[in-house]
Amino acid sequence: MEQRDDYHHEVDYVLEPNATGKVYRAVTIDTSESGLGLYLFSPLSAGRQITIKGIFRISRKTGTIRWSKKISESVFRAGVLFIR
């Protein structure tokens, strides 16, 4: 099983395809080579593609929402699988 590292950091993301140009805010929970966990402040459904900006030393990384669940009134937790 791939090792996940705790990594809490604010990031921006856009929905793909990025037709509107709207930027959303999220907080990383944990990371691995293949993906990461996020706290989101608006719901996203599984299968949705996003591009995350300002993560690690990379300017952007694109991934697919694998799962998402509501954890409070205004916070959602999601798993993202990076697209290689």
- Output DSSP code: residue 83: P
Q: Which domain holds residue 54?
A: 5-82
pLDDT for residue 82? 95
| 75 pLDDT tier (thresholds 50, 70, 90) | very high
Tell me what pLDDT residue 18 has: 84
Tens-place pLDDT, residues 32-60: 889 999 999 999 999 999 999 876 666 78
Q: Say how far apart CA 45 and CA 54 lie, in whole Å.
A: 22
Q: How many folded domains does the chain comprise?
A: 1
- The whole-number pLDDT of residue 60 equals 86
Distant-in-sequence, close-in-space partners of 23: CB < 8 Å, separation ≥ 6: 12, 13, 14, 53
CA 15 to chain centre: 10
CATH assignment at residue 61: 2.40.10.220
- Over residues 3-27, the pLDDT tens digits come to 767 778 899 999 998 878 899 999 9
